[in-house]
């Protein structure tokens, strides 16, 4: 007894694995048919064990070898419907039909050639006619694809089309004269014989046009100068020559380029100037309008004299001087069509001539002095642009050197007694090459202290050259807007930064510093020996080391170089230096150099 279908009496099977809906449609021999209900294994009372035993058993054990062989032979290929097998199979036939042309003096009938396309899938027919330019006829698709009825009411089939047959369609009778290779092969496979292609009749109007065209090119010996024939043969054929007019002795002082066009249809000449930007001349289109060009323009014929001689195609060649009403034009090149024309007609090679002309020197733009408003870059922006734009910044340099500052201690060079003991900190910002000066406040000095010079780009006095980081070192003198400072010391970051980049900062390059000391080696050895002998351990102090270095008399030796050498020797930062070891090193290197 089953429970009533009420809430609370139903439950879900947690062991269920298949949620697919049962299918009642299937394909049988290519057709979709519904399945017969009650024929499933469950409906027939077969369990899974019985189905598995039946599926794995060999038919030979039950029915024998003869039945298995018969069953294998009875297997056939799957059924393919005709609309699938014959899809896109099209047979094409060449045909024509004649139509009457009433009240025309040129033709009484017209032959129109078409293509009959038969679609084997459903025996539909399409008729196409190739379009003829300037025919005045409605051409293209004459009959769209459709089933075509015969005059008796039945429909045309593939058996009604073959070479040599007359096919009446909607009042027009088409004569089939040809078939393509695919059509012949297809019909031959079906056992249909196809006759050879038949000639199509010629169109009377086409024959008349061909005869008229042949008469146009016929030479008439009675006419000496057939202008019409020349125009029809050479219409729109133009020879183009590239020329220059040497006007350097006149006002323009330059070679002016021109194009000379020779029209083969009537032997006329046209001269056009090649425009260039900013040439300072009005953009007139033509120097010489299209006309016949006389060879001698200054000799006007008198009444009764023969007509003057004009330039023709035979007179032109590369290197000639063309006289255009008193203006000499040098022909130095031509285009590809002109070069081919002279090679085919006159057998003349038109090789170009290379013209050399020295370019005038570019004008020198004088930069006006700084206006005093803004920076030098701001002033140049108003010179280079009509609408001033802010100067461009090197953002790569800004990102790479952000936060990198070289700081130096400095003293002011002045004659005022009150300023002699003032100390300053000169900071150089590597991100944008700007400098600032700060004065540390000193109690009871009478000077306020603080910011002395705001961060800005500083230049050498009287020039536009900006101070670079290589210009700052211990012992250097900088002039910042009328105030001179001498750099007396540097912080640890500035010294380390320079020593790590000896290729950019020669004052911190140890090898170059040793080479300078080697140039005054004798004086350095004497001074070093004196200071070392006075010390019980042979080590000297920083002041004694500096005295020995400056005793060499090297003119461009500065304090920054001596300090860099001391930092390189004093590896343990003890403040004591083995100066004799440096003497031995310099002596050995000097001996190797000799």
d(CA 208, CA 399): 85
d(CA 258, CA 347): 26
Interval 147-163 mean pLDDT: 93
Interval 243-248 mean pLDDT: 84
472-511 residue pLDDT tens: 998 899 999 889 999 999 999 999 999 899 888 988 888 8
Residue 229 or residue 223, greater confidence: 229
Instruction: Report the pLDDT value the prediction gives residue 381, as an integer from 0 to 100.
Output: 81
Judged against a pLDDT cut of 90, whether residue 371 lies above it is answered with: no
Judged against a pLDDT cut of 60, whether residue 220 lies above it is answered with: no
Instruction: Report the pLDDT value the prediction gives residue 434, as an integer from 0 to 100.
Output: 92
Judged against a pLDDT cut of 70, whether residue 37 lies above it is answered with: no
333-351 residue pLDDT tens: 999 999 999 999 999 999 9
Q: What is the mean pLDDT of the chain?
A: 83
The CATH topology of domain 389-499 is: PH-domain like (2.30.29)
Interval 122-126 mean pLDDT: 94
* The 3-state secondary structure of 48-101, one letter per residue: HHHHHHHHHCCHHHHHCHHHHHHHHHCCCCCCCCHHHHCCCCEEEEEEEEEEEC
Asked if 408 and 490 count as a contact pair (C-beta separation under 8 A), the reply is yes
pLDDT range class, residue 215, cuts 50, 70, 90: confident
Residue 150 or residue 213, greater confidence: 150
Q: Please, which contacts does 314-320 make with residues 24 or more away whose CB atoms are closer than 8 Å?
A: 314/346, 316/239, 316/241, 316/262, 317/342, 317/348, 317/350, 318/350, 318/351, 318/352, 318/353, 319/353
Token reading at 268: 């006329």
Judged against a pLDDT cut of 60, whether residue 249 lies above it is answered with: yes
- What is the residue whose two structure tokens read 């069509």? 337
Class (C level, CATH) for 509-593: mainly alpha
Instruction: Report the pLDDT value the prediction gives residue 419, as an integer from 0 to 100.
Output: 87
pLDDT range class, residue 543, cuts 50, 70, 90: confident
Q: Give CATH for domain 83-205.
A: 2.30.29.170
Asked if 427 and 407 count as a contact pair (C-beta separation under 8 A), the reply is yes
Judged against a pLDDT cut of 80, whether residue 263 lies above it is answered with: yes
Residue 28 or residue 494, greater confidence: 494
577-589 residue pLDDT tens: 677 777 777 777 7
Domain ranges of the chain: 26-79, 83-205, 227-345, 389-499, 509-593
Judged against a pLDDT cut of 60, whether residue 594 lies above it is answered with: no
Q: Classify residue 14 as exposed, middle or buried by CB count within 10 Å of its CB (0-12, 13-18, 19+).
A: exposed
Token reading at 32: 């979709």
List the single range of 79-83, 86-90, 531-535 with lowest mean pLDDT. Answer: 531-535
Judged against a pLDDT cut of 80, whether residue 309 lies above it is answered with: yes
Judged against a pLDDT cut of 90, whether residue 412 lies above it is answered with: yes
Interval 392-409 mean pLDDT: 91
pTM as predicted: 0.42
Judged against a pLDDT cut of 80, whether residue 407 lies above it is answered with: yes
Judged against a pLDDT cut of 90, whether residue 298 lies above it is answered with: no
d(CA 308, CA 111): 54
83-205 against 509-593: fold identical: no
Judged against a pLDDT cut of 90, whether residue 428 lies above it is answered with: yes
Instruction: Report the pLDDT value the prediction gives residue 513, as an integer from 0 to 100.
Output: 79
Asked if 143 and 97 count as a contact pair (C-beta separation under 8 A), the reply is no
Residue 43 or residue 230, greater confidence: 230
Judged against a pLDDT cut of 90, whether residue 93 lies above it is answered with: yes
The DSSP line for 304-361 is: TSPPPPB--GGG--TT-EEEETTEEEEEEEE-HHHHHHHHHHT-----------PPPP
Q: Give CATH for domain 227-345.
A: 2.30.29.170
Instruction: Report the pLDDT value the prediction gives residue 81, as an integer from 0 to 100.
Output: 79
Judged against a pLDDT cut of 60, whether residue 223 lies above it is answered with: no
500-515 residue pLDDT tens: 998 889 888 888 877 7
d(CA 253, CA 321): 19
Q: Which residues face 149 on adjacent strands?
A: 155
Three-state DSSP at 583 gives helix
């Amino acid at each position: 007894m089953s429970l009533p279908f009420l809430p609370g009496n139903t439950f879900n099977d947690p062991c269920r694995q298949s949620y697919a809906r049962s299918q009642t449609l299937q394909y049988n021999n290519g057709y979709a048919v519904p399945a017969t209900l009650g024929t499933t294994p469950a409906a027939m009372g077969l369990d899974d064990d019985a189905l598995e035993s039946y599926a794995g058993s060999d038919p030979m054990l039950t029915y024998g070898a003869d039945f298995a062989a018969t069953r294998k032979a009875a297997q056939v290929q799957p059924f393919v419907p005709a609309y699938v097998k014959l899809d896109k199979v099209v047979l094409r036939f060449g045909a024509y039909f004649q139509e009457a042309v009433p009240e025309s003096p040129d033709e009484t009938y017209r032959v129109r050639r078409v293509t009959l396309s038969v679609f084997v899938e459903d025996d539909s027919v399409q008729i196409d006619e190739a379009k003829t330019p300037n025919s005045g006829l409605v051409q293209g698709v004459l009959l769209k694809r459709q089933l075509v009825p015969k005059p008796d009411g039945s429909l045309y089939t593939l058996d009604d089309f073959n070479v040599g047959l007359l096919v009446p369609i909607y009042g027009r009778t088409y004569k089939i004269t040809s078939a393509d290779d695919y059509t012949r092969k297809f019909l031959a496979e079906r056992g249909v014989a196809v006759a050879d292609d038949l000639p199509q009749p010629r169109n009377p109007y086409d024959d008349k046009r061909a005869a008229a065209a042949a008469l146009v090119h016929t030479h008439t010996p009675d006419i000496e100068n057939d202008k019409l024939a020349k125009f029809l043969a050479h219409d729109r054929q133009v020879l183009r020559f590239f020329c220059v007019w040497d006007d350097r002795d006149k006002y323009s002082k330059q070679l002016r380029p021109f194009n000379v066009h020779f029209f083969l249809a009537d032997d006329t000449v046209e001269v056009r100037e090649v425009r260039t930007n900013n040439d300072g001349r009005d953009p007139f289109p033509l120097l010489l309008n299209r006309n016949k060009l006389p060879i001698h323009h200054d000799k006007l014929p008198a009444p009764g004299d023969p007509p003057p001689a004009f330039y023709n195609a035979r007179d032109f060649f590369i290197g000639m001087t063309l006289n255009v009403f008193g203006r000499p034009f040098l022909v130095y090149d031509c285009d590809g069509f002109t070069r081919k024309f002279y090679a085919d007609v006159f057998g003349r090679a038109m090789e170009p001539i290379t013209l050399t002309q020295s370019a005038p020197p570019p004008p020198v733009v004088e930069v006006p002095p700084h206006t005093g408003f803004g920076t030098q870059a701001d002033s140049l922006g108003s010179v280079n642009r009509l609408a001033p734009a802010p100067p461009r910044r090197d953002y790569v340099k800004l990102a790479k050197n952000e936060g990198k500052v070289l700081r130096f201690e400095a003293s002011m060079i002045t004659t005022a007694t009150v300023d002699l003991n003032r100390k300053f900190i000169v900071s150089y910002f590597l991100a944008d090459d700007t400098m600032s000066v700060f004065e540390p406040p000193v109690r009871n000095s009478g000077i306020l202290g603080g910011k002395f010079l705001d961060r800005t780009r500083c230049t050498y006095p009287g020039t536009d050259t900006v101070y670079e980081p290589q210009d700052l070192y211990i012992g250097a003198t900088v002039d910042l807007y009328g105030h001179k400072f001498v750099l007396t010391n540097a912080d640890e970051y500035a010294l380390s930064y320079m020593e790590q980049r000896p290729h950019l900062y020669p004052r911190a390059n140890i090898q170059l510093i040793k080479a300078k000391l080697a140039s005054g080696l004798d004086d350095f050895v004497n001074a070093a020996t004196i200071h070392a002998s006075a010390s019980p351990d042979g080590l000297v102090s920083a002041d004694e080391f500096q005295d020995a270095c400056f005793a060499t008399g090297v003119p461009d030796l500065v304090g920054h170089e001596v300090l860099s050498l001391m930092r390189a020797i004093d590896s343990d930062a003890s403040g004591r230096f083995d100066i004799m070891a440096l003497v031995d090193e310099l002596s050995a290197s000097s001996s190797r150099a000799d």
